[in-house]
Chains A and B, each alone.
Chain A
């Protein structure tokens, strides 16, 4: 039993990423997409929050959305995995349910 959590808002705009990390169980998958991809950036005020979750939870970032914001893969926090839309579909399939932190 595992869940996929999706976060689509920047952690600098809303606290949905923080809530997601707080409430999700260990072993959960978390996908950052749309403006949520900013949470996957190195060197920000929320980096430690994500970095400490990696390992206990699997954190993914949607590559097309990351790229669309002019960001490059070398700026992604270590341990965060990049997926495309097909990978997003695979994550939905691999987990029992999807919780959108909208």
Chain B
């Protein structure tokens, strides 16, 4: 079955990012397909590579990147939410005159249309957040 996941909450805030990650991992391990993971609102903070948690804590950002590498996931960060919260890739840096980028590997910035498409193309859309 084809799943898409929506994450509305930042990492290390409550538990939504962890739950979304564990759910996505379990679904992929069961042989399901994940069409897209869409990060919205504070969820876009899952996509900064500058995150540096203590070594004995889980690194949620790296967890997503590794899962995406293993299963070729499409991790999409909402552009409007990203601009507000300072999540920047090369294109955004150029467009908005920023001197740095911080997007994590395997993440990409795109629009809300990607969420609509995910909802249409997938059998189930599962929302995690506050």
Q: B57-72 CB contact bits vs A (8 Å, 1 = yes)?
A: 0000000000000000
Does A45 have its Cβ within 8 Å of any Cβ on chain B? no
How far apart are A12's CB and chain B's nearest CB, in angstroms?
A: 15
Partner of A102 from the list B25, B26, B127 (CB cut-off 8 Å) is: B127
Partner of A89 from the list B8, B15, B27, B129 (CB cut-off 8 Å) is: B27
- Specify which of A84, A85, A97, A102 lies most central, judged by the most chain B CB atoms within 10 Å of its CB: A85
Q: Check if A33 sits within 8 Å of B19, measured CB to CB.
A: yes
Q: Check if B126 sits within 8 Å of A100, measured CB to CB.
A: yes
Number of A residues with CB within 8 Å of any CB on chain B = 20
In the complex, A64 Cα to B124 Cα: how many Å?
Answer: 23
Number of B residues with CB within 8 Å of any CB on chain A = 22
Residues of B104-130 at the interface with A, using a CB-CB cut-off of 8 Å, are: 124-130
Q: Check if B23 sits within 8 Å of A85, measured CB to CB.
A: yes
Number of A-B residue pairs, CB cutoff 8 Å, is 53
Q: Check if A102 sits within 8 Å of B124, measured CB to CB.
A: no
Q: Check if A92 sits within 8 Å of B3, measured CB to CB.
A: yes
Q: Check if A100 sits within 8 Å of B128, measured CB to CB.
A: yes
Q: A76-93 CB contact bits vs B (8 Å, 1 = yes)?
A: 000000001110111011
Q: Check if A100 sits within 8 Å of B127, measured CB to CB.
A: yes
Q: List 6 A-B contacts (CB under 8 A).
A: A8-B128, A34-B16, A64-B22, A85-B22, A85-B25, A102-B127
